[in-house]
Amino acid sequence: MSATSVLSPSEHEVKRSFLLQRAQPAMNGLIDGSLSTLAPIFAVAFATLQPRYAFFAGLATAIGAGVSMAFSEGLSDTGDLTGRGKPYLRGAITGAGTFLGGVLHTLPFLIPQYRLALAVALVTITFELLTLAWIRWRFFGTGFLRSFVSIAIGGAVIAGVSAALGAAG
């Protein structure tokens, strides 16, 4: 018996609305912010070996990505046909999630020692990936390990390519 079969029709609709209007936009934002900001941060970190430059690159990217995702989600549909809710609220949730996902692994680059900043950033990224996998497991019924591996592969590809670009620069 699945969890949704024990819910009344109105409880099922409330859960569905929460997933479509709150959890899914937040998840999209967190994943986008966590992954898309890796490239500029690590490229700059490896190119300059200067944590403060990586911090500014990460902060600028997190802000830009957050604003971009807020607008793209808010303007993607009215929510009337899809049931995804108010576009401005969805956009705000997605934008905030994107910023948060990008700024968390940017903050370690406030540490002036390059190797320490890099190590703390990698630990932070691992925490982010575990959190994203847990959210997918908790709210969307995907397997925790499958979610973690999927997200980690994307992050590893992005970090590897950007580190190589940075080292070449």
The yes-or-no verdict on residue 93 having pLDDT over 50 is yes
Find the range with the poorest average confidence among 66-75, 106-115, 153-162: 153-162
pLDDT at 63: 97
- Cβ-based neighbours of 39, under 8 Å, separated by 6 or more: 158, 159, 161, 162, 165
For residue 151, pLDDT beyond 60: yes
Quote the mean pLDDT of the chain: 89
**Whether the Cβ atoms of residue 52 and residue 61 lie closer than 8 Å to each other:** no
CB-based contact 25:147 (threshold 8 Å): no
Can you give the pLDDT at residue 25?
92
Decide if pLDDT at 114 tops 80: yes
3-state helix, strand, coil in the chain (%, to 5): 85, 0, 15
In the prediction, which pLDDT does 103 show?
97
- CB under 8 Å to 1, separation ≥6 — which residues? none
Which pTM value belongs to this model?
0.85
Report the alpha-carbon distance of residue 95 to residue 89 in Å, rounded. Answer: 10
Q: What is the pLDDT of residues 8-47, one digit of tens each?
A: 778 888 888 888 889 999 999 999 999 889 989 989 999 9
When comparing pLDDT for 164 and 136, which is higher? 136
Spatial CA neighbour of 19 closest among 87, 72, 90: 90
Q: Which two tokens stand for residue 19?
A: 């997933």
